[in-house]
Amino acid sequence: MTQHQDQPLHPVIITGLSGGGLSTAAKIFEDKGYFVSQNLPPQLILELVGMSTAKDSPVSRLAVVTDVRARKFNGSLMNTISEIKKLGFAPFILYLEARDDVLIRRFDSVRRTHPLQDGDTLQHGIEREREALEPVRDIADVIIDTTNQSVHDLRRSIEASIGELATGKQHVTLESFGFKHGSPRDADIVLDVRFLPNPYWVPELREFRGVDKPVSDYVLSREDAEPFIDNFVRLLSSTLEGYQHEGKDFITVGVGCTGGHHRSVAVAEEIGRRLQQKPRLEVNVLHRDLCRN
């Protein structure tokens, strides 16, 4: 099936910080059946989109990877995105990043220099890149912080975020986490459920997790749990139209407790269950720290 037969092309632009996981993301998209081209300068991205929309094009799904090295060529990624929109297509921008200390560790492990290091420290190169890419980050559809993610975690995050890039739908990702491991930097909204009693201190519940019925029942039966969930679902529902008007169809909600094992997991699952009942909404639930000590 080609895009001109049944559906419009949604070019995926994968970008972000060097060391943030761009190559891994490219492999994930290839596995999902995308034609993936890496390290393209801005002008060639536009040409590739044009070629992919030709009547005889064999490409129905296109993803391109571009990073700060493309600055050496004429044109800018921001201008290219605008030109793609003028052609009548809606590019999906996936931005990957990580904490500075993690990026430094990744560069050290492969003995590479940063493309913007220019004889300075690696930290200076990372800072320059963050500044250079800030305009693209601001318009990204989805931002994924890969700081604490394995390759498998990144695959799950990407699959949850992009779905099938269905038109006319908004996508909400609920991500449980533990505050002791740091809050997710890619979350648009963060909920703190540490006000609920912690099942960890109930001996018969300690070894279970929030996806298990005994813990879920315990957490959701607490007096303050249902009003909190009701209020948040109403609050989020009231903002969806505004988000869509502003072109934001991908929303990530972080739900945190102390370790990310019990309360946040149970609450994220319940919020996800309720949101899934709403029309024109695609909901995914992830548990970042469920198996982490």
Q: Where are the domains of the chain?
A: 12-162, 170-287
How far from each other are the two terminal CA atoms of the chain, in whole angstroms?
45
What does the pLDDT average to over 119-136? 90
Q: How confident is the model at residue 165 (pLDDT cuts 50, 70, 90)?
A: low
Enter the tokens of residue 32: 């999902």
CATH 3.40.50.720 for domain 12-162? no
Positive or negative, the CA dihedral 41, 135, 192, 278 is negative
Write down the pLDDT at residue 6: 44
Closest by CA to 209, choosing from 282, 289, 95, is 289
What does the pLDDT average to over 141-149? 89
Rounded to whole angstroms, what are the CA distances from 25 to 32, 154, 252, 259, 277? Answer: 11, 8, 18, 27, 30
Q: With DSSP H G I counted as helix, E B as strand and the rest as coil, what are the percentages for the chain, rounded to 5?
A: 45, 15, 40
Question: Does 4 score more than 50 pLDDT?
Answer: no
The more confidently predicted of residues 196 and 3 is 196
Query: Could you give the angle at the alpha carbon of 161 between the alpha carbons of 157 and 166, nearest 5°?
Result: 150
Write down the pLDDT at residue 275: 96
DSSP state of 201: G
Enter the tokens of residue 140: 């990204």
Per the prediction, the chain carries an average pLDDT of 87
Contact 10, 34 (CB under 8 A): no
Contact 263, 198 (CB under 8 A): yes
Question: Does 139 score more than 80 pLDDT?
Answer: yes
Spell out the alpha helix ranges (H) of 199-251: 213-220, 225-245
Closest by CA to 74, choosing from 43, 37, 33, 102, is 43
Q: Is 69 annotated as a binding residue?
A: yes
Question: Does 218 score more than 80 pLDDT?
Answer: yes
Contact 95, 142 (CB under 8 A): yes
Q: How confident is the model at residue 93 (pLDDT cuts 50, 70, 90)?
A: very high
Q: Is 222 annotated as a binding residue?
A: no
Backbone angles phi and psi of 97, in degrees to 5? -150, 175
Q: 264 CB contacts (<8 Å, ≥6 apart)?
A: 176, 177, 178, 193, 210, 255, 256, 257
- What CA–CA distance (Å, rounded) separates 193 from 215? 14
Q: Is 67 annotated as a binding residue?
A: yes
Question: Does 5 score more than 50 pLDDT?
Answer: no
The more confidently predicted of residues 44 and 73 is 44
Length of the chain, please? 293
**109-113, 136-140, 199-203, 269-273: the lowest-pLDDT one:** 109-113
Q: Is 160 annotated as a binding residue?
A: no
To the nearest whole percent, how much of the chain has pLDDT over 70? 92
Beta bridge partner(s), residue 286 = 175
Question: Does 9 score more than 70 pLDDT?
Answer: no
The more confidently predicted of residues 126 and 110 is 126
What does the pLDDT average to over 195-220? 96
What does the pLDDT average to over 134-149? 90
Question: Does 201 score more than 50 pLDDT?
Answer: yes
